[in-house]
Every structure is written in structure tokens, then in C-alpha cells.
């Protein structure tokens, strides 16, 4: 028996704002969308155009309050081929929320305050 990663899911409050963020910050593009019959929820899958792994954004029509992320100790992680250019891009966007210079990484946060780790390709 062999298990393979397929996708990760996060719930978002403003789907359009999240789609714009993930496209601008990480270059992720929509690869699939599911709209529940009455529009009670929408699932949008984003991909990097290279790997089969995707990020599923779930939007719930009735949700109006921010999600409780607890201590926000979980995160997504992306490797980038030009770490310095990525850092400058994210700095310009104003979305860097934590830096660990000793480890050579930093984190950005999305519109719902999920953290995304940026790692240089080594």
C-alpha cells in the first residue's frame, strides 16, 4: 500500500482576495473549481504548474467571521529558485510576517493569516 500527497486545504473568508494573493505572492493558478449546487460553498484548487500537489481553498457562503487559527503553528512551505528576488517581492507586498535569518528562511501571511514558509532551493 502506498500513499501519495495530493493536496492541502485551508478555509478562506474572501475567496477573490485569497486567489489574488496566492497568484501574486506565489504564482499559483487555479486548476480546478467546484461550486456546490446552491453555492453554499466553493472549492478552488491552486497549482504551481510543475508539481501535481495542489492547495484547496474552501469558501463557505455563510461564513462571516475570521477563522480561529489557534497558535498558528501549522504552515505551508514553498521552495524558490531565486530567494533574494522572492524576498524583495514579498517585502514590497508587505506580507513578510517572520524571518529566521539564521536558518535562511522567512514566512509570509495570507489574507486569512495562514503562514507560508519560503525556503531557498539548496
Q: What pTM was computed for the model? A: 0.93
The β-bridge relationship of strands 105-109 and 115-120 is antiparallel
Looking at residue 97, its pLDDT comes to 97
Q: Can you list the domains of the chain with their CATH numbers?
A: 7-63+74-120 (3.10.180.10)
The β-bridge relationship of strands 75-80 and 115-120 is parallel
Looking at residue 14, its pLDDT comes to 97
The reply to whether 40 belongs to the active site is no
* 78 half-sphere exposure, CB direction, 13 A CA radius: 25
pLDDT tens digits for 36-93?
988 999 999 999 999 999 999 999 999 999 999 988 888 999 999 999 999 999 999 9
**Under DSSP, is residue 70 helix (H, G, I), strand (E, B) or coil?**
coil
Mean pLDDT, the chain, rounded, equals: 96
Looking at residue 94, its pLDDT comes to 98
Amino acid at each position: 500500500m502506498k500513499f501519495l500527497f495530493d493536496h492541502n486545504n485551508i478555509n478562506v473568508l474572501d475567496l477573490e482576495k485569497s486567489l489574488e494573493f496566492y497568484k501574486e505572492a506565489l504564482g499559483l493558478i487555479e486548476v480546478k473549481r467546484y461550486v456546490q449546487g446552491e453555492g453554499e460553498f466553493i472549492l478552488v484548487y491552486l497549482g504551481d504548474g510543475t508539481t501535481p500537489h495542489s492547495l484547496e481553498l474552501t469558501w463557505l457562503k455563510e461564513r462571516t467571521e475570521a477563522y480561529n487559527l489557534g497558535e498558528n503553528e501549522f504552515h505551508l512551505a514553498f521552495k524558490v529558485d531565486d530567494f533574494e528576488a522572492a524576498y524583495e517581492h514579498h517585502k514590497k507586498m508587505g506580507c513578510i510576517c517572520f524571518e529566521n535569518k539564521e536558518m535562511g528562511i522567512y514566512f509570509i501571511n495570507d489574507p486569512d493569516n495562514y503562514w507560508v514558509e519560503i525556503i531557498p532551493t539548496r
